[in-house]
Amino acid sequence: MAAANASLGVDALPPEDELMKDVDTIFKNARQAQTGSLNGFTQSYILPYGIDNYDGVIIDPTGLPEDVPTFVVQLQASLAYWNAQQRKGVWLKLPLPSANLVLSAIQAGFTYHHAEPTYLMLTRWLPETPSTLPPNASHQVGVAAFVLNEKSEVLAVQEKNGPLRGSGIWKMPTGLVNQGEDIFAGAVREVKEETGVDTEFMQILGFRQGHQVAFDKSDLFFVCILKPCSSEIVKQDSEIEAAKWMPLVKFKAQPFFQERSMLKRMMDICIASTEGHYQGFSPNELNTGFQKQNSYFYQGPVH
């Protein structure tokens, strides 16, 4: 399954990527092609669609009928046609206003693939063989920000919500990286949001991979070191109970860190980094050749 979805050299673009990027072109070409013969199938009964490089079908969401009876008829006719063409996966994207079509799609053998607030993606695998359609996103990504000033004070916060609420534990600012956001940018943003302090991103010192974290998904949690560019603290009222510059010696001595082997390890490499005994990964803007925009490659120093 996975192998089919990471086909680009040393890159991991899945099949859909190349499709979705030029999906308008695909549909335009497909409509032109579909003006020809359909081997006995009635043209007007076939839902507008495009074909991907994996013998799959992408139904054009802008060509969906509004009423359920028409959709049921067209979907059945289309599935018969695509079956006859020996197509493999069928992708059906239903925008939120087409929620009235969900039940009919499930009754026609579709299952859910993924969803975003504005749409639901369903798939149906046509062949008898097991599906090789790629899964949806598997990980959330978080950051912790170690920010030490020239007085050996750590930027520390207490949180208003969550399991540490009311515990009195001082921790590094943490947060989730948004879809589409670079890790280094997410770290700088979280520090600014929670404490008001401006920072410059330095390195990723290490990361933890956890499983069954959010909605059974996995989690990558990057420990980052940042350099403070300002010192005044303006704490975020909604999320943060308290924020302060705290002597590193006191911060790291908290039993919370000392009693958990992973948290202690994270703390140790943060300190080793500030003492010049540790090198993490830094972001480098480079071009993959597969996408127009550059992206960032994180690596350590070559000696």
Residues 9-38 that bind a second copy (CB under 8 A): 9-18, 20
Structure token digits, residue 281:
């990964």
Q: Could you count the other beta carbons within 10 Å of the beta carbon of residue 21? A: 13
Q: Could you count the other beta carbons within 10 Å of the beta carbon of residue 165? A: 11
Q: Which stretch binds a second copy (CB under 8 A): 29-37, 41-49, 73-81, 294-302?
A: 294-302
Q: How far is C-alpha 13 from the chain's CA centre?
A: 13
Taking a C-beta distance cutoff of 8 angstroms, is the pair 40, 50 a contact?
A: no
- Minimum CB distance to a second copy smaller for 31 or for 198: 198
Answer yes or no: 193 catalytic.
Answer: yes
Taking a C-beta distance cutoff of 8 angstroms, is the pair 19, 30 a contact?
A: no
The residue within the footprint of a second copy, chosen from 63, 161, 230, 249 (CB under 8 A), is: 161
DSSP for residue 131 = P
The residue within the footprint of a second copy, chosen from 33, 73, 80, 214 (CB under 8 A), is: 214
- Minimum CB distance to a second copy smaller for 81 or for 146: 146
The residue within the footprint of a second copy, chosen from 24, 43, 62, 165 (CB under 8 A), is: 165
Name residues contacting a second copy, limited to 51-110 (CB under 8 A): 53-54, 96, 99-100, 102-103, 106-107
**DSSP secondary structure, 28-82, as one string:** HHHHHHTTS--TTS-GGGSPPEEE-TTS-EEE-GGG--SSHHHHHHHHHHHHHHH
Q: Which stretch binds a second copy (CB under 8 A): 4-12, 25-33, 69-77, 242-250?
A: 4-12
Provide the mask over 217-236, with x wherever binding to a second copy is found by CB under 8 A and - wherever it is not: xxxxx-x------------x
Name the helix (H) or strand (E) containing 143.
Answer: strand 139-147
Among the listed residues 193, 239, 241, 259, the single catalytic one is: 193
Name the helix (H) or strand (E) containing 204.
Answer: strand 199-214
The residue within the footprint of a second copy, chosen from 25, 70, 83, 299 (CB under 8 A), is: 299
Q: Does 201 bind a second copy (CB under 8 A)?
A: no
37 - beta bridge partners? none
Q: Which of 55, 48, 53, 52 is nearest to 28 (CA)?
A: 48
Name residues contacting a second copy, limited to 170-199 (CB under 8 A): 171-172, 174-183, 186, 190, 193-194
Q: How far is the CB of 77 from a second copy (least distance, A)?
A: 21
- Strand 119-125 relative to strand 111-116, pairing: antiparallel
Provide the mask over 114-133, with x wherever binding to a second copy is found by CB under 8 A and - wherever it is not: xxxxxxxx----------x-
Taking a C-beta distance cutoff of 8 angstroms, is the pair 298, 201 a contact?
A: no
- Separation between Cα atoms, residue 204 and residue 189, nearest integer Å: 15
- Separation between Cα atoms, residue 303 and residue 295, nearest integer Å: 24
Structure token digits, residue 199:
């920072």
Structure token digits, residue 40:
């006995």
Q: How far is the CB of 242 from a second copy (least distance, A)?
A: 14
Q: Could you count the other beta carbons within 10 Å of the beta carbon of residue 230? A: 12
The residue within the footprint of a second copy, chosen from 138, 200, 230, 234 (CB under 8 A), is: 138
Name residues contacting a second copy, limited to 234-293 (CB under 8 A): 236, 238-240, 256-257, 259-263, 265-266, 268-269, 272, 277-281, 284, 286-291, 293
The residue within the footprint of a second copy, chosen from 67, 150, 216, 237 (CB under 8 A), is: 216
- Minimum CB distance to a second copy smaller for 227 or for 264: 264
- Give catalytic residues, as residue numbers: 193
